[in-house]
A and B are shown apart, each in its own frame.
Chain A
């Protein structure tokens, strides 16, 4: 179950990651091995089985009342940010 470099590049785009050429080749090999390993699942008979996304059995997702909670703590949040200006998060230019 081998992955090619083109697929690795696509995954890099989706993951916002990049690698040096040799690292990329290593990653390609390791991902191929992992994929091989998890592909064992294909032999399991799952006809008529509903996918299970959680072990929680509840009536419905819990809901909260529509009330405002908390207060303006902007300063403490901006304090942990890499860059901020005049109350905004400063980020590299977003080109529309």
Chain B
């Protein structure tokens, strides 16, 4: 990105609330059902149908508001947002406009370098989701509509334009997702669409106060795509400005095949939604008792857990934030440390080895083939020198494939580390005497050959020699 410019980013996230039934009707919200099997006349917008509010969605909204330090509005109003589309059965969406359920909050995001940033949350409101159109089959001039999703409850969370980089955006989404999951109000699955993100991006010259014209980017189905799209869009806008052009305020679609954004809607087609308060519903008035009741059942949230981990386990801010991205990570970690193992070593094994492997396998931590106890056993065997770190990695791979205990694997494969100094002395001397010409070169100043000798000893011992002992022995013999 051009060094004279900076980005201004705001994110709008739609999170599906994990209730059994829809926002205003009793239809099921389960993902993946056959088309239109989870619709009733209310969802279908048939004549005479009326909405009745789902109380669990209200509680979910209050809890999210509390977690984001928002003002909980004692009165909020449902409004009709009017437009025509086949996935919108009533010809209007029931949403909230002037008076959302919560607003004016903030969320701390954790960056890779360990620093944090405080991002403002403008508001969160409740609204119903629309159905889905599919275009894969049938005649070219037709589309097919599945209204199972129509009426599913959504929380729309709008951030202040306080994000400045794609990394910020990634951190924001990871944190928000963590909070949603900790509260158990949304499963945060972007691939399945239970959490969706639109990005508002503008650029301006550094030092300038006023905001540039922004574009809204849609069709972002993963955190990585959000970050890619933001970087692409910022560069695009800078190019336009640098070549003397102006940015049109518009909605653009992210094309994740070509990795570009392209025009979707221009200003001319901007909708007049004609919001007005829905006369089929009454205002939502929250009592102090209800808000207190929600406060009482709030779980420990990611930031609190992160602080506790930093304090108890002396972890770095970033490691602590990664391990507390979900309650499942945190419980796995705590079971791994189990009050007896080195927290830093455990943190490394989880964040580097385990997460890396799970990502490759496309699995969640709850589907890990390796349990905390098993991983702990492996860590113990390194700590007490039973195996070397390098051998441990091999054992770990086997554990991932077979879910077997490390002790078993090590025994079966005879991978116990050789720590017998006498035996190793013999092998070191044998290696050195078989490689006299390299010994000469080393003594003449070629330090790098040390690695060669180490490698030879390892070869002789099938990698089982304790590396530290080998190093010491080589040094003393050279």
Contacts and interface: CB of A to CB of B under 8 A. Distances in A.
Interface in B323-357: none
Contacts of B277: 53
21 contacts: A54-B279, A59-B285, A61-B53, A63-B58, A64-B54, A66-B55, A66-B56, A67-B20, A67-B26, A70-B40, A72-B37, A87-B34, A87-B35, A89-B36, A89-B145, A89-B146, A90-B138, A90-B143, A91-B144, A94-B87, A94-B143
A86 B284 CA distance: 40
Q: Secondary structure of the B side of the interface?
A: loop
A68 B40 CA distance: 11
Interface of A: 14, 16, 53-54, 56, 58-70, 72-74, 77-78, 85-94, 96
Contacts of A14: 82, 272, 274
A70 B279 contact: no
Contacts of A58: 282
A61 B101 CA distance: 13
B19 A89 contact: no
A71 B45 CA distance: 17
Given A53-B277, A74-B36, A60 B286 contact: yes
A61 B85 CA distance: 28
B28 interface: yes
B48 to A, nearest CB: 14
A89 B87 CA distance: 10
B206 interface: no
Contacts of B52: 62-64
B26 to A, nearest CB: 3
Interface string B223-267: 000000000000000000000000000000100000000001000
A73 B27 CA distance: 11
Interface of B: 19-21, 26-28, 34-41, 44, 46, 52-58, 78, 82, 84-87, 133-135, 137-138, 140-147, 253, 264, 272, 274, 276-277, 279, 281-286
A67 B272 CA distance: 35
A74 B28 CA distance: 13
A92 B140 CA distance: 9
Contacts of A59: 285
Given A77-B44, A92-B143, A67 B284 contact: no
A61 B145 contact: no
Q: Secondary structure of the A side of the interface?
A: loop
B54 A63 contact: yes
A64 B140 CA distance: 42
A74 B279 CA distance: 28
A73 B20 contact: no
A86 to B, nearest CB: 8
B37 A94 contact: no
A14 to B, nearest CB: 6
Contact of B143 (A16, A67, A91): A91
Contact of A64 (B26, B138, B282): B26
A54 B286 CA distance: 19
Given A87-B35, A89-B36, A64 B142 contact: no
A89 B35 CA distance: 9
B37 A87 contact: yes
Contacts of A63: 52-55, 58
Contacts of B134: 88
Contacts of B146: 87-89
Contact of B20 (A61, A66, A70): A66
Nearest to B271: A14
Contacts of B26: 64, 67-70
A65 B138 CA distance: 40
B86 A89 contact: yes
B133 A68 contact: no
A88 B282 contact: no
A93 B135 contact: yes
B34 to A, nearest CB: 6
Nearest to A58: B282
A93 B143 contact: yes
Nearest to A70: B40
Contacts of A91: 86, 133, 142-145
Contacts of A62: 52-53, 282
A68 B86 contact: no
The 5 closest A-B pairs by CB, nearest first: A69-B26, A88-B144, A63-B55, A66-B56, A60-B285
